Chain A
Amino acid sequence: MSATATEPAGPRAAGAPRRSLASRIVNRAGGGAVQIVLVLIALLWLVPVVGLFLASLRSGADNAGSGWWTVLTKPTELTVQAYGDMLSDSTMVDSFVNTVLITVPATVLVVVVAALAAYAFAWMEFPGRDWLFLVVVGLLVVPVQVGLIPVATMYGKVGLYGTIPGVVLFHVAYGLPFAIFLLRNYFAGIPRDLLEAARMDGGTEWTIFRRVIFPLGGPAIASLAIFQFLWVWNDLLIALIFADSGSQPITMAIQQQTRQFGSNIDVIAPGSFLSMIVPLVVFFAFQRHFVQGVLAGSVK
């Protein structure tokens, strides 16, 4: 629908009571005020991020003495020194690599494992199917906090404590109930004809899954993958429990830095930006799926 407030000549002006010039001016002024308010709000949302970015482009000494906004009048302060230091110090780079090593498998595994189960729940006949599905969906309510102590104990016994596979498995397990729920509902909407046709052609369940379900489930799988990717990429709590200094992701590395004594914004600011780059790229590249993924996943 078009902006009725600024287009009084539209169809609705004919039906509505006739408007005086004064009320049109008030309307326009109101529209202008709304625009100004929105610009201010947008600035309010942007300035903190810009602040961190500019802080990451200043030296530690400059940051200790004055605020990031000083660079607006003294652009000579800008330096990539902090980024250089960060890249030459292995802690942040290693933890960035760890984040990738945790996030990619945790996302792929959730998608594959959940898609298999969702297909069985949607299109296979077996006794107790609906009951089992209900139990799986019921596990959605379990907050990760419930799993921390028992799984930490378990990992200690089998040697998964402090390892990347340990972190990945925990993420996968707690991502599954929602993933299965989302995908089963989506798969159930795929027309039966397509599956029957594949069966007629002699396809096994496995071929049907690979050739029909997986491609047709694309949009749901994309939303799920993006959501799960972000959830794992941005996690701190699970990493704090199950990772150690060798397997820590970047969120944990940043957190450790904030606990250090004294100001080390020259480490924290570029590190935070490094951690934000990938989610922001995903955000801008896959906007539509991103929004759907975040909204779909937000029921967790």
Chain B
Amino acid sequence: MAERPELTETGTAGPAGAGAAETGSGPSAERGRAGAGRWLPSGFLAPALVLLGLLVAYPILFTIWRSLFDAGGDTFVGLDNYVAMFTDSQTFTALKNNLIWVLVAPALVTSLGLIFAVLTERVRWATAFRLVVFMPMAISMVAAGVIFTLVYDRAPERGLLNAVVVGVHDVFADPSPFPGARPRDTGPLATRAGAYETRQQARPGQTVTLPLVAITPQRQRELAPARSAQARPGALTGTVWADFTPGAQAKANQIDPTEKGLGGITVEAVSGGRVAATATTAADGTFTFTGLADGAYTVRLPAGNFAQPYNGVNWLGPSLVTPAIIASYVWMWAGFAMVLIGAGLAAIPRDALEAARVDGATEWQVFRRVTMPLLAPVLMVVMVTLVINVLKIFDLIYIIAPGSSQEEANVLALQMYLRSFVGERGDQGLGSAIAVVLLLLVLPAMMFNIRRFRREQG
């Protein structure tokens, strides 16, 4: 390579720099080289050529041939397996996802790598930073997958990301006071659209009872005893309480001495479909509506009082699984882009930058007009390399996507494996076709890389 990118910026010695090597003055007898010389190269080449021929070259032909036959391998089906890539819904999803991966992941990784490389240029502890960001390149995609299954765990008490999301959410929205509490099936309360309301209407001066159940014993222990609301002239009063006494012979829908009041619940007085007044229960569960116009009211406990707590996002559910796995890929590969681009930045001649600055260009202009054009070839190499890598992505998806959303996260390499080697419905015809398509997709990118590499090596 023209420049040798490194985390640190020390030079490396080329082959000539190794200098004082032994020049083969060992005990070498004069041998008849003229005779053996003809066959000598084959001796050096044979191991490589045998392995390549048997395990790489021949399989290309076999796979292409095999892709023209059905699952059993006996019936010639022409291009049917290639057509099936678009008609077989699983394979087509894999194809679409591969497209998303190729469009999104390399661009994301390259931009992040560029940002990191530029930011670290002027920081003293750049080497330490680069070390940290580059480190995921060392570990397997399996290990990275395990790491991110922990991050993406659905349960906020276990999954890091959901713990953060729920924490932030709860800062801005108060959690409901009694999630899951509900009335008995028979009793004064009926359920309507998640809210609970009295079956019978009440008038000012009367008292209503609003018994609820399904409140955990732990929670009940923290609560104050319930109190019967006193009837007051001109006001509608009532009590919301936990109508359950374990083991005792308590009566349903009556406030027994040991039962607890439910404080902090929002109560609405509804008349003709409109909320006439709103109150909040005291710690003992009592509430009072004053100043109501005379008439019949339905007392309602809105659904917000009992909403289940916010549980975060289903990262690995069908809709988010691919973006989530792409994020973990970015985590793994950003360091790669950063180091390559960093080397590219270091190779830019200082004079060009200084000249632009002397001419009065701002830092941003210098970056856009001088740095970026000089960096373009490096960015191209990074992108192309990532495209090749992303086309063949397999392990991350196989490890991170749970069985339930594996189909939505599927990609060609995974589908090729699943279809060819897993389960009863194995179809090595379709599997071979997918492999051939992967080969064709990788081909142009790989040609680009080889040409570039040859140029650099001179």
A150 touching B24 by the CB < 8 A rule?
no
* A75 close to B (CB within 8 Å): no
Number of interface residues of A (CB under 8 A): 129
Contact of B33 among A139, A204, A219 (CB under 8 A): A204
* B103 close to A (CB within 8 Å): no
A47, B158: Cα distance in complex, Å: 14
Across the interface, name the chain B residue whose C-beta is closest to A205.
Answer: B40
* A25 close to B (CB within 8 Å): no
The 8 A CB mask of A65-82 against B (1 = contact, 0 = none) is: 111110000000000000
Smallest beta-carbon distance B302→chain A, Å: 32
The 8 A CB mask of A142-155 against B (1 = contact, 0 = none) is: 11111111111110
B56 touching A4 by the CB < 8 A rule?
no
B18 touching A216 by the CB < 8 A rule?
yes
B150 touching A55 by the CB < 8 A rule?
yes
Contact of B389 among A35, A216, A235, A298 (CB under 8 A): A298
* Residue picked from B58, B138, B357, most chain A C-beta under 10 Å: B138
B151 touching A48 by the CB < 8 A rule?
yes
Contact of A189 among B15, B33, B336 (CB under 8 A): B15
The 8 A CB mask of B407-440 against A (1 = contact, 0 = none) is: 0000001001100110000001001101110110
The 8 A CB mask of A194-224 against B (1 = contact, 0 = none) is: 1001100111110111011001111110000
* A97 close to B (CB within 8 Å): no
Contact of B358 among A16, A194, A283 (CB under 8 A): A16
Contact of A113 among B51, B60, B142, B150 (CB under 8 A): B51
Contact of B15 among A186, A251, A272 (CB under 8 A): A186
Across the interface, name the chain A residue whose C-beta is closest to B38.
Answer: A126
Evaluate whether A272 and B450 lie within 8 angstroms (CB atoms) in the complex, with A174-B56, A204-B33 already known: no
* B59 close to A (CB within 8 Å): yes
A215 touching B22 by the CB < 8 A rule?
yes
Evaluate whether A48 and B18 lie within 8 angstroms (CB atoms) in the complex, with A145-B413, A198-B24, A203-B26 already known: no
A258, B49: Cα distance in complex, Å: 39
* B13 close to A (CB within 8 Å): yes
B48 touching A114 by the CB < 8 A rule?
yes
* A49 close to B (CB within 8 Å): yes
Residues of B within 8 Å of A68, CB to CB, are 150, 160
* B235 close to A (CB within 8 Å): no
Smallest beta-carbon distance A224→chain B, Å: 13
* B297 close to A (CB within 8 Å): no
Residues of A within 8 Å of B25, CB to CB, are 198, 201, 203
A219, B41: Cα distance in complex, Å: 24
A113, B49: Cα distance in complex, Å: 10
A113, B45: Cα distance in complex, Å: 8
B56 touching A139 by the CB < 8 A rule?
yes
A169, B50: Cα distance in complex, Å: 11
Evaluate whether A190 and B15 lie within 8 angstroms (CB atoms) in the complex, with A41-B133, A237-B417 already known: yes
A140 touching B434 by the CB < 8 A rule?
no
* A119 close to B (CB within 8 Å): yes
B56 touching A12 by the CB < 8 A rule?
no
Smallest beta-carbon distance B80→chain A, Å: 17
* B116 close to A (CB within 8 Å): yes
Residues of A within 8 Å of B357, CB to CB, are 12, 15-16
A275 touching B142 by the CB < 8 A rule?
yes
| Segment 66-119 of B: residues with Cβ below 8 Å from A | 66, 116, 119
Evaluate whether A212 and B21 lie within 8 angstroms (CB atoms) in the complex, with A141-B442, A205-B40 already known: yes
B453 touching A31 by the CB < 8 A rule?
no
A148 touching B420 by the CB < 8 A rule?
yes
A65, B156: Cα distance in complex, Å: 10
A5, B118: Cα distance in complex, Å: 13
A45 touching B439 by the CB < 8 A rule?
no
* A92 close to B (CB within 8 Å): no
* A294 close to B (CB within 8 Å): yes
Residues of B within 8 Å of A275, CB to CB, are 139-140, 142-143
A198, B388: Cα distance in complex, Å: 42
* B293 close to A (CB within 8 Å): no
Contact of B47 among A45, A55, A113 (CB under 8 A): A113
B124 touching A3 by the CB < 8 A rule?
yes
Smallest beta-carbon distance B71→chain A, Å: 12
The 8 A CB mask of B336-360 against A (1 = contact, 0 = none) is: 1001100000000010001001101
Contacting chain A: which of B4-12, B183-191, B267-275? B4-12
Across the interface, name the chain A residue whose C-beta is closest to B51.
Answer: A173
Across the interface, name the chain A residue whose C-beta is closest to B131.
Answer: A287
Residues of B within 8 Å of A145, CB to CB, are 392, 413, 416-417, 434-435, 438-439
A194, B210: Cα distance in complex, Å: 98
Smallest beta-carbon distance B266→chain A, Å: 31
A146, B340: Cα distance in complex, Å: 29
A139 touching B57 by the CB < 8 A rule?
yes
Residues of B within 8 Å of A169, CB to CB, are 51, 55
B45 touching A117 by the CB < 8 A rule?
yes
A251 touching B142 by the CB < 8 A rule?
yes
Contact of A279 among B30, B47, B138, B432 (CB under 8 A): B138
Residues of B within 8 Å of A208, CB to CB, are 24
* A243 close to B (CB within 8 Å): no
Contact of B21 among A6, A15, A216, A272 (CB under 8 A): A216
Across the interface, name the chain A residue whose C-beta is closest to B16.
Answer: A191
The 8 A CB mask of B258-269 against A (1 = contact, 0 = none) is: 000000000000
A35, B124: Cα distance in complex, Å: 10
Across the interface, name the chain A residue whose C-beta is closest to B158.
Answer: A67
* B298 close to A (CB within 8 Å): no
16 contacts between A and B (CB under 8 A): A31-B122, A65-B157, A136-B48, A137-B450, A139-B57, A142-B59, A142-B439, A173-B51, A176-B52, A201-B25, A203-B25, A216-B21, A234-B139, A237-B413, A276-B138, A283-B137
- In the complex, besides A177-B52, A211-B23, A236-B394, 14 extra interface pairs with C-beta distance below 8 angstroms are A38-B129, A45-B331, A48-B160, A117-B47, A124-B44, A136-B48, A141-B450, A176-B51, A189-B15, A217-B15, A240-B417, A255-B142, A276-B143, A292-B4
